[in-house]
A = this chain, B = another copy of it.
Amino acid sequence: MNHVIAIGKVSEATGVKVPTIRYYEQIGLLPAPPRTEGNRRTYDRKDADRLTFIRHSRELGFEIDQIRTLLSLQDRPDQSCSEADTIAKARLAEVKDKIASLKALEAELERMVEGCSHGRVETCQVIEILADHGKCKHHLHDA
């Protein structure tokens, strides 16, 4: 209720950097807060909660547009949560994919590093493997 928190304090409390908070306001993800006489933004607890929600969602890899949807769902608690469920499931699938391809990548990098004879480039597996894709067993889709 009492808009009293300065942008720097919200930043500290939520872990979202000051310019990022202003950016979120600009793109309409966070409502423009009231200002002091000296034109400074004043936030309250609700704003901080929203920013925490946003930060956590970003950490989980959701895109801004997905977060927009999730936020709008949060604002209307009577609605079905199937949309939130769908978004989370899609993200989960993405994450599983990414873990799989990162593991392939890890294996290949390990092979590279282990194969490095610490000699000259001529005989270095690192360079060798990068140069010759045929030496790579896996098909990596994206890393």
Residues of A within 8 A of B (CB): 49, 52-53, 55-57, 59-61, 70, 73-74, 76-82, 84-85, 87-89, 91-92, 95-96, 98-99, 102-103, 105-106, 108-110, 112-113, 116-124, 126-127, 129-133, 136, 140, 142-143
Given contacts A116-B85, A118-B82, A131-B49, contact A109 B76 (CB under 8 A): no
Residues of B within 8 A of A105 (CB): 59-61, 95
Of the listed residues A59, A120, A129, the one surrounded by the most CB atoms of chain B closer than 10 A to its CB is A59
What's the number of copies of this chain in the assembled complex?
2
Distance to closest chain B CB from A73 (angstroms): 5
> B81–A121 contact, CB under 8 A?
yes
